[in-house]
Amino acid sequence: MAKRTAVIDIGSNSARLVIYERTSRYGFHLICEQKSRVRIGEGAYRQGGNLQPIGIERAYLALQSFIQTTKKYRVHKILCVATSALRDAPNGREFVAWIREHLKLSIKIIDGNEEAKLGAIATNNLLPIDSGITIDIGGGSSDMALIEGGKIVETCSLNIGTVRLKELFFDHNEPIERAMEYIALELEKIPNRFKSSLAIGIGGSARTLSKAIMRRSDYPLDKLHAFRYSVKDEMDYLTSVTQADLKSLEKLDIKRGRFDTIREGTLIFVSILKKIEAKEVISSGVGVREGLFLKDLLRNSRLQFPVGLNPSTQSILDRFDNLTPKSSNSSHRVKVASRIYQLCHEEFGLSYSYLDPLKVALKLSNIGKTLTIYKSRQHAFYIAMQELNFGFDHKDMLIISLLLRTCGNSLLKKQLFEKYREILPPKDSMRSLSFIYNLTILLHENSNEADINLSYSDKILTIDSNQSLYHAKESIELLERPHKFDIVINDTVNIPRYRF
């Protein structure tokens, strides 16, 4: 696969460009993102679906700019798809041919079911989910996919979208009841098996609503992807958005740039949530573009990453752990930490659900040193907060990041813990996790991967080593304890004879 791949997605509202750089077989990261509000379908739905000059010209200029960007970044492959605005347009094929002639860009027009599948590929691989229904509300269509047990089992595409509703009803001050009747007719096309307690919100409308809910609730983490909310708790708010006039939307924490289509999008979203009987929404920062990229990346892997591989973790290690000696691999750290966890988790009151984020933190423990050894834990915290985007819920992502930030004798950065308290585990659990993390790091860095055996009995943690732990002993003695217990270190010390 190409080292750098560009993906262009031409929707009814916006055209977007993203450029991904591969760091290894399965590692990748985003290096460029551009968006243009081309509204290619503007005026089309009242003109028999035909693309109008205003949308055609905006789209051409946006795509021309995107092509220039791909050349600047020396992209090796360009994947370009167009969705409902072009597939619904009688002159859509002519537009595609015209762009190919003048910009040398090949556009593939995909149907609604393919659009739904691409969104499902992205969320199935990049969100911490096993089952659910994706809802991708676009300008001309709303596309859905049913995911069960990590498999995409069925897709569904509806001819209702934000621009379509806006131009057919809202722009002409039609009663909202008429729009609701139109939506209800389309919802009858949803298969009966499309029922799930979890809805996966994809696309601009769902993201806008999630961001507004985050602001209204003073959610402490500024990360949309994997944010969750209760449908029951937020239904009154969602309904108020559908009924608001333009002047009232700002009071509802809707950004001005989304005023033109958010009421339409919310009306569709709420209707589908009720239809599928969803109880919770998880927000997706990924969709068609990421799905198209992953379809290419994972084409020989059944469209899924290998079990146990996280693309964010892999990309971070590829880019930020290249200074770590090969002998200093993470398996030794993980083995030691797992043993300590097994021995002490009941005494510490730790759930086994915290073991996986602890292991990830240990794998990433050296990433800050790539920049500089000074304040390396601060660097590691920042890298994790920015780059651990895929496959983790917010709690696990914060556990990993805060463990990386712990420093010296102190088990917890109190200011950070207080900031994210509502998402994190209880304070005692975080202190216990931090103790295991820091004890493991001290043993690993000062033992050259010694053969270490551990036992715990009568509030005594015994550490037996076949090598000297001279440097580790002093640091471990100073390490803060989360509970009252002793640590006994039995190491092997070999000092040559001397006669002076």
| Spatial contact of 123 and 284, defined as CB atoms under 8 Å apart | yes
- For the stretch 397-421, pLDDT in tens is 999 999 999 976 678 899 999 999 9
Q: Count Cβ neighbours within 10 Å for each residue of 314-327 and write b for 16 or more, e otherwise.
A: bbbbbbbbeebeee
| Spatial contact of 30 and 20, defined as CB atoms under 8 Å apart | yes
Report pTM: 0.94
- For the stretch 416-452, pLDDT in tens is 999 999 999 999 999 999 999 999 999 988 877 788 9
Q: Rounded to whole angstroms, how far apart are CA atoms 494 and 477?
A: 22
Q: Rounded to whole angstroms, how far apart are CA atoms 286 and 7?
A: 13
Tokens standing for residue 240: 């108020």
Q: Rounded to whole angstroms, how far apart are CA atoms 88 and 49?
A: 6
Tokens standing for residue 15: 């055209």
Pick the CATH number of 311-490 from 3.90.550.10, 3.30.70.2700, 3.40.630.30, 1.10.3210.10: 1.10.3210.10
The overall average pLDDT reported for the chain is 94
Q: Alpha helix (H) ranges present in 188-306? A: 204-216, 231-243, 246-249, 259-276, 288-297
Q: How many CA atoms lie within 13 A of 82 on its CB side?
A: 23
How is domain 4-109 classified at the architecture level of CATH?
Answer: 2-Layer Sandwich (3.30)
Question: For position 500, what pLDDT does the model report?
Answer: 87
Tokens standing for residue 320: 């930020």
Q: Rounded to whole angstroms, how far apart are CA atoms 113 and 229?
A: 27
Q: Rounded to whole angstroms, how far apart are CA atoms 303 and 165?
A: 34
Q: Rounded to whole angstroms, how far apart are CA atoms 309 and 292?
A: 20
Q: What are the E-state strand segments in 110-263?
A: 132-137, 142-148, 151-158, 198-202, 228-230
Question: For position 171, what pLDDT does the model report?
Answer: 82
3 state DSSP class of 119:
helix
Which amino acid does the sequence have at 186?
E
3 state DSSP class of 44:
coil
Tokens standing for residue 366: 């050296």
Q: Rounded to whole angstroms, how far apart are CA atoms 37 and 58?
A: 8
Q: What share of the chain has pLDDT > 70, as a percent? A: 98
Which amino acid does the sequence have at 434?
S
Tokens standing for residue 212: 């507004």
Intrachain domains 4-109 and 113-289 with the same fold: yes
Q: How many CB atoms neighbour CB 457 within 10 A? A: 8
- Structural domain boundaries in the chain: 4-109, 113-289, 311-490
| Spatial contact of 191 and 276, defined as CB atoms under 8 Å apart | no
3 state DSSP class of 8:
strand
Question: For position 450, what pLDDT does the model report?
Answer: 81
Q: Give how far Cα 78 sits from Cα of 6, 276, 428, 479, 493, Å.
A: 5, 36, 50, 52, 60
467-475 CB contacts, 8 Å cutoff, 24+ apart: 467/491, 467/492, 468/492, 468/493, 468/494, 469/443, 470/446, 471/446, 472/442, 472/443, 472/445, 472/446, 472/447, 475/442, 475/446
Look at strands 132-137 and 198-202 and give their pairing.
parallel
Q: Give how far Cα 451 sits from Cα of 454, 469, 473, 490, 496, Å.
A: 10, 11, 16, 12, 22
Residues, the chain, total? 500
| Spatial contact of 2 and 76, defined as CB atoms under 8 Å apart | yes
69 Cβ neighbours under 8 A, 6+ residues apart: 6, 17, 19, 32, 34
Which residue reads 């094929």 in tokens?
Answer: 93
| Spatial contact of 66 and 8, defined as CB atoms under 8 Å apart | yes
Query: Given 3-state DSSP classes, what are the helix, strand and coil percentages for the chain, each rounded to the nearest 5?
Result: 50, 15, 35
Question: For position 48, what pLDDT does the model report?
Answer: 83
- Counting as low any pLDDT under 70, the low residues of the chain are 1, 323-329, 408-409
What CATH number should be reported for the domain whose range is 113-289? 3.30.420.150
Q: Rounded to whole angstroms, how far apart are CA atoms 343 and 337?
A: 10
